[in-house]
Amino acid sequence: MARLPRLCLPGIPQHIIQRGNNRQACFASEEDFAAYAHWLIEYSQRYKVAIHAWVFMTNHVHLLVTPETETAISQMMQTLGRHYVRYFNYTYRRTGTLWEGRFKSCVINATEYLLVCQRYIELNPVRAGMVEAPQDYRWSSYHANGLGKSTQLWTPHAVYLNLGADTAERTHAYRALFRGHIDTETLQRVRQATQQGMVLGNERFRREIEQLTGRRTTALKRGPKPKPQEKKKEFLL
C-alpha cells in the first residue's frame, strides 16, 4: 500500500514523535540533550516552526509545534536530524543510522486537544517511572508551561495564553490540569493518530482537513482475512 503524504497545514498544530532506531538510546548524556535543544532552537527559528511543548527522553523525542508553511516541519526535522546524527556518531565513534525512519506526526484540533497533548508530552517521564512529578524532569516544557520559566525554545499557543490574564494565572491554571489523569481512551487516541499520521479532532475537524488537503484523515479498516480455499477431494474411480 502506498504511503500517504504527510498532513501539514500552516497554522495548525502537530504532535511529533521521533524514536531511536530499534528503540536504542539517542541521548547518552546531559550534553547530548543540550546539543539537541540548541539545534532545535536554531532550526525551528530558521524554518518558522513554533514549539509549544517538548520532552527529550533517552530514546525518543516528543514535540508539539505549529508551522508557518507546508514544508516547515519536514525541513526542520530533516536538518535537525542530520546535524544531530553527525554529532552523535562523532562523539561516540559510531556509524550508521540513529533514528527509526521517518518521524511520526498528526495534526491536532487545538481547541480540543492542544492542552491534552501538552500534558501527554510532559507526563512522559512520569509514566516511564523516571520521576514522580513533571517538574522533576529537566528536559521538558513543563518548566515553561507550568512554572513560567523563560526559554528561547518556547512559544506559547493562543489556547494556552487563554488560561489566564498573566503568567501567574496561566501557570496556576495549567498546573491544575495535572491534578487529574488522562484517561486511557484519550491516551490511545493520541497515540493512534500520531502513529498512523492521521488527525486528532472531532468529525467536523477531520472533514475540514480532508477538504483542505484532499487526503483521507482516518485509517482504513482492516477486512477479515480471506479463508483458505478448501482442497477439492479427489476420488479414485
φ/ψ (deg, to 5) at 131: -140, 165
Does 227 have pLDDT greater than 90? no
Chain-centroid distance of CA 90 in Å reads: 27
Higher local confidence (pLDDT), 115 or 22 = 115
Summarize pLDDT for 18-53 with one digit per residue, the tens.
999 988 999 999 999 999 999 999 999 999 999 999
Amino acid 236 reads: L
Per-residue pLDDT at 230: 46
Angle at 126 between CA 43 and CA 184, to 5 degrees: 100
Q: At 37, list the grid cell.
A: 535543544
Per-residue pLDDT at 233: 41
Per-residue pLDDT at 149: 96
What's the pLDDT band for 1 if we cut at 50, 70, 90? very low
Residue 233, SS3 per DSSP = coil
Does 220 have pLDDT greater than 80? no
What's the pLDDT band for 2 if we cut at 50, 70, 90? low
Does 8 have pLDDT greater than 90? no
Contact 146, 178 (CB under 8 A): yes
CB-based burial, 179-218: b 16+ in 10 Å, e otherwise = eeebeeeeeebbeebbeebbbbbeeebbebbeeebeeebe
Phi-psi region of 60 (alpha: psi -120 to 50; beta: other; left: phi over 0): beta
Per-residue pLDDT at 127: 94
Angle at 170 between CA 56 and CA 34, to 5 degrees: 20
Higher local confidence (pLDDT), 229 or 183 = 183
Per-residue pLDDT at 82: 95
Per-residue pLDDT at 4: 67
What's the pLDDT band for 225 if we cut at 50, 70, 90? low
**Structural domains in the chain?**
14-201 (3.30.70.1290)
Summarize pLDDT for 195-218 with one digit per residue, the tens.
998 899 999 999 999 988 876 776
Per-residue pLDDT at 180: 86
Summarize pLDDT for 65-111 with one digit per residue, the tens.
999 999 999 999 999 999 999 999 999 999 989 999 889 999 999 99
Interaxial angle between packed helices 167-177 and 110-122, expressed in degrees from 0 to 180 and rounded to the nearest 10: 80
Pick from 114, 153, 149, 152: which is nearest to 134 by CA? Answer: 149
pLDDT, mean over the chain: 90
